[in-house]
Amino acid sequence: MNQLRCFALIGVFWHVAAAAQQPFPVSAARLADISADIRLSRVADDTWRADYVFSAPVSALTMDAAGDFRRDAWTILSPGIVLANDAATNTDVVSMGGRPFQRFSVEIKSYDVAIPKAYIAVDRFSDGGRLFYLGFLGGAVASGAGSRPLTTHIVLAGRPGETALAPPQPRTGAPGAYAYFGARQPTPAGAASAIFDPAVPAWVKEAMLDTTARISRYYGQAYGRVPTPPLVMMVTMGDRSAPGLSMKGGAVGSQIAYRLGGEQFLADHPAKRAYIAQQVAHEMAHVWQQQVARGGVGEEAPWVHEGGAEAMAHDALLKTQVWTAADGAAFVARSLKRCTDEGGSFDSYDGIYACGFRQFHATGLDTAQLWRTMMRLTEQTGEPYSPHMVEHAGKEVRQGAASTQPRAD
Ligand SMILES: [Zn+2]
């Protein structure tokens, strides 16, 4: 137990260090006194310039490595300042040979190589619009004796006549979501707003909007919370000639970015609608998991939030009748088989989702009640969601001690 607790704390710290503007406990807040104003300008179709100005001199800016993104796509423009990868800590470090510096500029190229377990750095709309992931700009700064989390203030500048849209500022966690640069404006979509790539087929758009509206209503009711600020969806359409169908989503704060691809999106089919609905409900579950004043998604034991999102989606899709009972049963069978195929382990990507789902499914408890309790516990304790919390919440629900009323937020 001690060890588990210790890991959880490391997880929290790491999260803070990697994420600017996270409200942290008072003791940590004293350290967070260096900020950076970053002006991010789009200077060409696939070229940006980021100008950093720190509030005090620093000896290094250390960022969690994102595959080879920075090595391949970043060019430091300021003389004497270099970018290097530190393989031992898996970080990218900007420094001036140990001497203090207070500003630097970097040119950043579009980069859409998929990085395992990370967001796509820059995603493309077919009409020239781009999504730029801001989470890769922040990190921790070294100054004097120690390392401190960096608070960032990012200002966006599009090219003339272009919209530069900052992501919704999350109530907790990193501001690192996608900024949009392009010709479009978000259009209202129920309680949410959305920017769709014009290449997204009409039936896909309709299916996504319909699921989003129905699942929003359900999660709002079941968990007693509505996303603050309101949900924003960004949907890009990649390669339409690739075989099959792929849909990837990433939720940060109140923003969900979806990337679609594959020729199978061209023709409508109920099985494809069921798949789309599942992806949408899963990503939306993450948005709701993060609608807490403190705590929330942690770095350790990802099966808790991923398997949890699978369980929340399964529950919501059935309750809203977006899925038939047969769709639901097929999903459960598929997930349990995938988990068995992974040897019941959380070590693989598939295992995190499928065996995570199995953990929740095996409790036999009502998912909405269990996760409502998880949200209350994370807020009460400030600890991130964890296996221990799942156990604790399960016990509460079984004992009927859980709050049976959804909380008004
Ligand atoms: Zn997920």
Question: What pLDDT sits at residue 297?
Answer: 92
88-129 residue pLDDT tens: 999 999 999 999 999 999 999 999 888 877 788 999 999 999
Query: Model's pTM, two decimal places?
Result: 0.83
Pair of tokens at residue 50: 């980021």
Q: Predicted confidence band at 8 (pLDDT cuts at 50, 70, 90)?
A: very low
pLDDT of residue 116: 76
Name the pLDDT band for 26 (thresholds 50, 70, 90).
very low
C-alpha 16 – ligand 1 centre gap (Å): 20
Compute the distance from residue 76 Cα to the ligand 1 centre, in Å: 33
Rounded distance from Cα 283 to ligand 1 centre (Å): 6
Cα 282 to middle of ligand 1, angstroms: 6
* pLDDT, position 27: 38
Q: What is the pLDDT of residue 406?
A: 52
C-alpha of residue 29 to centroid of ligand 1, in Å: 29
Domain residue ranges of the chain, discontinuous segments joined by +: 2-162, 189-399
Max mean pLDDT range (51-55, 248-252, 253-257): 51-55
State in Å: Cα 228 to ligand 1 middle.
Answer: 19
CA of 162 to the centre of ligand 1 (A): 32
Confidence of residue 5 (pLDDT cuts 50, 70, 90): very low
Ligand 1 center to 116 CA (angstroms): 13
pLDDT given for residue 176 in this prediction: 72
Q: Which of 134, 409, 151 is nearest to 250 (CA)?
A: 134
Is the pLDDT at 372 greater than 80? The verdict is yes
- Whole-number Å distance, alpha carbon 288 to ligand 1 midpoint, is 12
Span 218-235, mean pLDDT? 94
| Interval between CA 261 and ligand 1 midpoint (Å) | 18
Q: Considering only 24-28, 29-33, 37-41, which range has the smallest mean pLDDT?
A: 24-28
309 CA distance to ligand 1 centroid (A)?
6
pLDDT at res. 281:
97
Q: What is the mean pLDDT of the chain?
A: 87
Separation of 255 CA from ligand 1 center, angstroms?
Answer: 13
- CA of 349 relative to ligand 1 center, distance in Å: 11
Q: Tell me, what's the pLDDT at 274? A: 94
Other Cβ atoms within 10 Å of 376 Cβ, number:
18
Separation of 270 CA from ligand 1 center, angstroms? 23
Expressed in angstroms and rounded, the spacing between residue 118 Cα and the centre of ligand 1 is 11
Q: What is the CATH number of domain 189-399?
A: 1.10.390.10
Q: How far is the CA of 297 from the centre of ligand 1 (A)?
A: 11
Kindly state the tokens that stand for 40.
Answer: 């991010």
How many A from CA of 310 to the centre of ligand 1? 8
Mean pLDDT, range 204-230, rounded to an integer: 94
On the question of pLDDT at 31 being above 70, the answer is no
Average pLDDT in the 206-229 region? 94
Q: Does residue 230 register a pLDDT over 70?
A: yes
